[in-house]
Amino acid sequence: MTFRPVTVRHSWGEETVALADLGIEDSVVSDGWLEDNSIGEIMETYLERITGEDVYGYYGRQFPVTVKFLDIRGEMPVHVHPDDEVAEQRYDALGGKEFWYVTEAGKDAEIRLGFSREMTAQELFDRSADGTLKEVMNVLHPVKGDFLTISPGIVHCAGNGLKVTVIKQASELPFRLSGPDDDGNCDNGDFVAEAMDFISYARYDTAEARMKADDMPGIAGERLAGCAEFNISRLRLQAPVKIHSQEQNGYAVYVCIEGEASVQARVAAADGKDTEAAFPLGKGTAMLVPAEVTDFILLPADRQTTLLEVTPGTREDIDGYINPDTEPFLEGEDYEGLENDDVKENDNVKEEGKHNRSWN
């Protein structure tokens, strides 16, 4: 499935939504037999057939990631996103972890990320009010191909000629801390007050987030990001690549950032027989391959074709009813020799409350 892009104009540039399931902003399928259906309607109907059983078991009927393209011509306001815990408790939403991939960068382009020194809540409040918050933020000068992961609580913004592909959790909770909104309003007081307790005030080491384009060799399948929310790889397609979705145990989203490609898969024809079909994927578009598609082929139509592959992240579930650090036997109690049995068995008891689930 590919979706109709929706472009929103801001004072700093344009934001084009390629895939989003946010309730008030649901992407609509652009063609095929599901044309004109929103991703929300599709999730309501097909459930785990779209995302996979494990992903559906955690996220339910919300598709978990959003794909956007930012064309940043002016200066974005400084903003920050909450984490999952705060977002769920206060707004019944997901948090705001983001992945940014730079597709174009002018000579004056910059990304400001986190604080360059330790901050206090009072200084942050004062600098938000007088418009000097950017002065105490780290400055990065990106080039095409750079990428970074922005964690919740880290203040950030960008400006001066930059195009970015953004892959993030399915949430829209930006708290503007400094700078005007699209109507020229600079009153950020309410946003700052709400964000005070989840902002990271510590000095931020940008190496935690940033990886340059030259840090990895130019091969297909480079892992760029891996976290509980998503896994992201860069595929430089120079020949057809066969994907076995059973190995991913969930959906896959492909974002074309350079060149052109198609996805070839077997589909059911009107006569009941399977046939091969190719689905085009052009530059600046995103395609969702449902979990129930067992295998498919990525075909480059251009020698310079580059895709970002988004798959479910690796999440560790902790059983809240069991403390894995609790000793299995109480001192002074008579267990009729059981406490002296195989130590390995005791270690297994400790681990019963901890379950590792790999979705990829």
The CATH number that applies at residue 253 is 2.60.120.10
Question: Do 199 and 334 have their domain in common?
Answer: no
Alpha helix ranges (H) inside 100-254: 121-130, 189-195
Number of folded domains that form the chain: 3
pLDDT at 185: 75
Question: Do 199 and 248 have their domain in common?
Answer: no
pLDDT at 211: 55
Q: Residue 20 burial (CB < 10 Å; 0-12/13-18/19+)?
A: buried
Question: Do 307 and 328 have their domain in common?
Answer: no
- Considering the entire predicted model, what is its pTM? 0.84
Q: Which of 22-36, 214-228, 267-281, 283-297 has the lowest average pLDDT?
A: 214-228
Residue 272 predicted with pLDDT over 80:
no
Residue 317 lies in a domain: no
**Percent of the chain residues topping a pLDDT of 90:** 66
Q: In which band, very low, low, confident or very high, does the pLDDT at 88 lie, cut at 50, 70 and 90?
A: very high
Residue span of the structural domain in which 346 resides: 322-357
Q: Are 171 and 149 in contact (CB under 8 A)?
A: no
Q: Which of 162, 183, 215 is the last residue of a domain?
A: 215
Question: Do 102 and 233 have their domain in common?
Answer: no
Residue 212 predicted with pLDDT over 80:
no
Question: Do 62 and 27 have their domain in common?
Answer: yes
* Greatest mean pLDDT among 166-175, 176-185, 330-339: 166-175
pLDDT at 333: 63
Question: Do 127 and 65 have their domain in common?
Answer: yes
Question: Do 171 and 271 have their domain in common?
Answer: no
Question: Do 149 and 41 have their domain in common?
Answer: yes
pLDDT at 359: 30
Q: What is the pLDDT of residues 216-268, one digit of tens each?
A: 444 446 889 989 999 999 999 989 998 876 556 799 999 999 999 999 998 87
Calpha distance 201→196 (Å, rounded): 9
